[in-house]
Amino acid sequence: MINELNVIKGLADTILNSVNNYLPEDFTGITEKQVLIDFPSVDQMPAGTMIYLQPNYAEYEALATTNDRSVFNISVFLLCKRDQRMNLTLKMYGYFNALFECIRRSMDLGGVVDFTHIDNVEFYPAVEANKNVMGAELSVACEYTKDFD
């Protein structure tokens, strides 16, 4: 049975395995330590660019006695810091575009879900009132059928 833990891990794996394919040539690739299922913390970022996944909400619709249609919404936070302001802007949008492309081109998260789409994105020119940290928050909806054995 697919559950929310499978879905968030599937999204993390998809990002980790594919996001670097969409980065501009002069960008440093994302590594395993930069994609975390955790709430973002500017003070505890292990790298200058981080991607955090945090469950947001879930919706369920009963289809039958054996399954539900499920939509699991995950907030994907992209944070960039430790650079000059102009470079930070270019870096943040370069990583954002790669992340957006990665999710749009891997809509089934490697077969984990039926369909994934990005509902909206909010950009932060300063995170925690720190102009040396920029970020984006993507609202990612993962749709799947939750079967009960």
Q: What are the tens digits of pLDDT across the range 94-128? A: 999 999 999 999 999 999 999 999 999 999 999 99
Report whether 62 contacts 147 (CB < 8 A). Answer: no
Q: Where does 4-147 sit in CATH, by number?
A: 3.30.2000.10
Beta strands in 48-105 (DSSP E): 49-64, 67-81
Residue of 124, 78, 120 whose CA lies nearest to 98:
78
Q: What is the pLDDT of residues 20-54, one digit of tens each?
A: 999 999 999 999 999 999 999 999 999 999 999 99
Instruction: Give the residue-averaged pLDDT of 77-85.
Output: 91
22 vs 105: CA distance, rounded Å? 10
Q: What does pTM read for this prediction? A: 0.94
Domain ranges, ordered by start, for the chain: 4-147
Q: How many CA atoms lie within 13 A of 80 on its CB side?
A: 23
Task: Report strand pairing: 49-64 vs 35-37.
Answer: parallel
* Dist CA 51 CA 28 (whole Å): 14
